[in-house]
Amino acid sequence: MLLYVFVALVLLLLNEYRLIKKYISAINDPEGKLEESAMQKMIGRLIKPFTVIRFWITHKLLNDELNYNS
């Protein structure tokens, strides 16, 4: 039981540290020109093919009213 409480407190402290670090970096860079972290870049690369496929399905495959010549 004590181990679970300790792990939960460590996770809360790590989350607070992350939020404080993000807040301080936002104050130092008000224009939002910070670089993306490695995790954000990796997630972006993983999600991009799905967004391209979704865009193709919604705009090319399902939107066929513009394809008729009448």
Q: Where are the domains of the chain?
A: 1-32, 34-64
Amino acid 64: pLDDT: 61
Which two tokens mark 18? 């992350």
Amino acid 38: pLDDT: 81
Amino acid 70: pLDDT: 46
Amino acid 68: pLDDT: 56
- pTM (2 d.p.): 0.40
List the chain residues with pLDDT less than 70: 30-35, 63-70
Amino acid 3: pLDDT: 92
| Residue-by-residue DSSP string for the chain | -HHHHHHHHHHHHHHHHHHHHHHHHHHH-TT--PPPPHHHHHHHHHHHHHHHHHHHIIIIIS--TTS---
